[in-house]
Amino acid sequence: MTKHPYQTCLRMPLTLKEDMTTICDRYQINESDLMRRAIVEFVESIQQNPNKTSRHMFI
């Protein structure tokens, strides 16, 4: 297991948490691994298409 030097906290709706937990249970993966992967894919998408972002994307 890799230890990462940075840690942050985020709040999410309960329904999103339950969906994430269901996916993690189904595929036997760690919730933090799922979040890291989703963030990586989001960041790569933003970097590849910076003009497709809008202020409302983050609300």
The residue written with tokens 């998408």 in the block is 45
Close Cβ partners of 23 (under 8 Å, ≥ 6 residues apart): 29, 34
Span 10-37, pLDDT tens digits = 899 999 999 999 999 999 999 999 999 9
* Model confidence pLDDT, tens digit, residues 41-59: 988 888 888 777 666 566 5
Residue with tokens 């409302």: 56
Alpha-carbon gap, residue 55 to 59, rounded angstroms: 8
CA 32, distance to chain mean position in Å, is: 8
Cα(31)–Cα(24) distance, integer angstroms:
6
> pLDDT at position 56, please?
55
